Amino acid sequence: MECRVWLSGRITIDSSPSLRALLLQRLESPDCQSLTVDFREVPYVDTSGLAVLVEILKAARTQGKTFQLSGLSERPRFLLEATRLLHLFREVGEMPRMNHSPPENLQ
């Protein structure tokens, strides 16, 4: 089954620990075989945020699961490209928000 998380706000050293906890919790659910994170409402990601994404990707692969990104805007995409990390992640098109669930606000 696919799990989806919609994020909102800046991903920084202050918000990265809660993002890490949220994504690990979703990924560790037995029902979640594929975790997709939507970045459409994320204007900024710092290096601590990148570290979280790499950690979640590694955890997903260890568990035999899929981790993918969606809706990367200009600045987060640039940081992933500049650090040569973008190629590690599978990107999918924008996801429709089901059940009108609000995005996870990271601020």
Q: Pick the residue with more confidence: 32 or 107?
A: 32
Phi, psi of 6 (to 5 degrees): -105, 125
**CATH number, position 31:** 3.30.750.24
pLDDT at 84 over 90: yes
Q: Is 99 left (phi over 0), alpha (psi -120 to 50) or beta?
A: left
Q: Looking at the domain assignment, is residue 17 inside a domain? A: yes
**Shortest CA distance to 79 belongs to which of 37, 44, 52, 53?**
44
Per-residue confidence (pLDDT) for residue 100, from 0 to 100: 45
The DSSP bridge pattern shows strands 90-92 and 104-105 to be unpaired
Would you say the pTM of this structure is higher than 0.95?
A: no
Domain ranges, residue 63:
2-89
Band (93; pLDDT cuts 50, 70, 90): confident
Q: Looking at the domain assignment, is residue 94 inside a domain? A: no
Q: Looking at the domain assignment, is residue 74 inside a domain? A: yes
Tell me how many domains the chain contains. 1
